[in-house]
Amino acid sequence: MFSSFLMFAALGSPAFAAGPIDCELRFSMSGWSAFYKHATGSGTVTCDNGQSMKVNISAKGGGLTFGKSEIDNGIGKFSEVYNIEDIIGGYATAEAHAGAVKSASARVVTKGPISLALSGKGRGWDVGVAFGNFIISKP
């Protein structure tokens, strides 16, 4: 009888979803733009639950934009991530940028409820306004 009670309690109790985890992206990327914007790179996502994943990143879009830049040691902070696999996919982006010689960039990209705040410093020059996708994929 006691074992029947335990089985009922285990099956009848509601499952509680774990809260969001803190994940961070460390990345490097380089690219160019002349109306069409294209950049590629790679990085590593690490989460506070011990999970980590190597990723490829790319940014594609268009607008009134010109330049060439390279970002080293960029950092991204994710919000509303419940599993490291959630970070894979395309994020919508809109940006205004300007820089010469030493370039700096900061932007927030979104994919449904997940947001990614990106920042980085690098070299190059760029000016313009662009819209497009920031894509994170597995290598």
Handedness of CA 90, 95, 100, 106 (dihedral sign): negative
Q: How much is the average pLDDT of 100-107?
A: 71
Q: Is residue 74 part of a domain?
A: yes
Q: How confident is the model at residue 54 (pLDDT cuts 50, 70, 90)?
A: very high
Q: Is residue 11 part of a domain?
A: no
At 103 the pLDDT is 67
Q: Is residue 54 part of a domain?
A: yes
Domain containing 103 — which CATH number?
A: 2.40.128
When divided into structural domains, the chain yields a total of 1
Buried/exposed 66-76: b ≥16 CB within 10 Å, e otherwise = ebebebeebeb
Q: Is residue 13 part of a domain?
A: no
Q: Reduce the DSSP state of residue 5 to 3 states and report it.
A: helix
Q: Is residue 92 part of a domain?
A: yes
Q: Is residue 71 part of a domain?
A: yes
Are 86 and 77 a contacting pair, CB within 8 Å? Answer: no
Which residue range forms the structural domain that includes residue 114? 21-137
Are 57 and 135 a contacting pair, CB within 8 Å? Answer: yes
Contacts of 112 (CB under 8 A, 6+ apart): none
Q: How much is the average pLDDT of 15-20?
A: 65
Percent of the chain residues past pLDDT 70, beyond the cut: 84
Q: How much is the average pLDDT of 96-107?
A: 71
Q: What Å distances lie between residue 80 and 19, 20, 31, 48, 120, CA to CA?
A: 9, 6, 28, 13, 22
Q: Is residue 5 part of a domain?
A: no
Amino acid (one-letter) located at 126: D
Q: How much is the average pLDDT of 34-55?
A: 95
Q: Is residue 6 part of a domain?
A: no
